[in-house]
């Protein structure tokens, strides 16, 4: 991880993990590297205030799959982003069964799928490819993925002055 001057580090620390990824995706698009978007969660509008045209009641229409998808190097890319305050692991309860199933499906169809995890207390971000995630789930009987697994099987995502979460550089 690059050591930023405090005024830059403090500015970026205030951003949510999702905002950092969104800024990276803007950079990738502007520099013709990749086209990746945040997927909206599907909702069903139940009622609208006719006077203000604001939604007053809505419900989730279906479970969402993963957070982001797009195209990189001519291949479909799809990933889930998670953030944890833990210094030692990512709790598996943070990953829904339908998200794991979606990652399997993307891999089965030849796409690129992975988990992007921010360990906020450590100021570290790791990319864990979908096949490594599935291998862990198949072979371990744990309630969390330890940081040591991310360090061994994943990739530490670099930061630089142009892009705080340069996750595509490790694919």
From its phi and psi, is residue 82 left (phi > 0), alpha (psi between -120 and 50) or beta? beta
Query: Distance of CA 25 to CAs 36, 74, 149, Å?
Result: 6, 16, 26
pLDDT, tens digit, 9 for 90 and up, residues 12-22:
444 699 999 99
CB of 112 within 8 A of CB of 171?
A: yes
pLDDT, tens digit, 9 for 90 and up, residues 67-122:
999 999 999 999 999 999 999 999 999 999 999 999 999 999 999 999 999 999 99
Q: Which two tokens stand for residue 7?
A: 């005024």
Q: How many residues does the chain have?
A: 171
Q: Which of 36-40, 131-135, 167-171 bottoms out in mean pLDDT, i.e. has the lowest?
A: 36-40
CB of 75 within 8 A of CB of 81?
A: no
pLDDT at 62 over 90: no
Q: How far is the C-alpha of 82 from the C-alpha of 65, rounded, in Å?
A: 13
Query: Where does the chain show beta strands of DSSP type E?
Result: 34-38, 43-49, 54-60, 68-72, 75-84, 89-91, 112-119, 124-129, 144-146, 155-156
Confidence of residue 46 (pLDDT cuts 50, 70, 90): confident
Can you name the residues that pair with 68 across neighbouring β-strands?
38, 79
User: What percentage of the chain exceeds 70 in pLDDT?
Assistant: 84
pLDDT value for 5: 41
Confidence of residue 61 (pLDDT cuts 50, 70, 90): low
pLDDT value for 41: 67
CB of 113 within 8 A of CB of 99?
A: no
Domains, the chain, with CATH or none: 6-170 (3.40.1350.10)
């Amino acid at each position: 991880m690059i050591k930023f001057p405090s005024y830059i580090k403090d500015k970026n620390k205030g951003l949510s993990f999702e905002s950092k990824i969104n800024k990276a995706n803007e950079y990738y698009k502007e520099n013709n590297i990749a086209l990746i978007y945040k997927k909206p969660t599907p909702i069903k509008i139940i009622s609208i205030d006719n006077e203000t045209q604001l939604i007053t009641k809505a419900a989730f229409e279906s479970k969402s799959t993963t957070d982001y998808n797009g195209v990189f190097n001519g291949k479909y890319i799809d990933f889930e982003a998670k953030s944890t305050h833990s210094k030692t692991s990512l709790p598996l309860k943070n990953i829904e069964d339908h998200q794991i199933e979606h990652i399997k499906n993307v891999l089965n169809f030849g796409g690129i799928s992975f988990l992007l995890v921010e360990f906020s207390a450590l100021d570290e971000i790791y990319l864990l490819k979908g096949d490594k995630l599935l291998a862990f789930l198949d072979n371990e009987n744990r309630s969390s993925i330890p940081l040591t697994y991310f360090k061994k099987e994943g990739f530490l995502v670099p930061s630089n002055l142009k892009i705080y979460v340069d996750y595509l550089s490790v694919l």
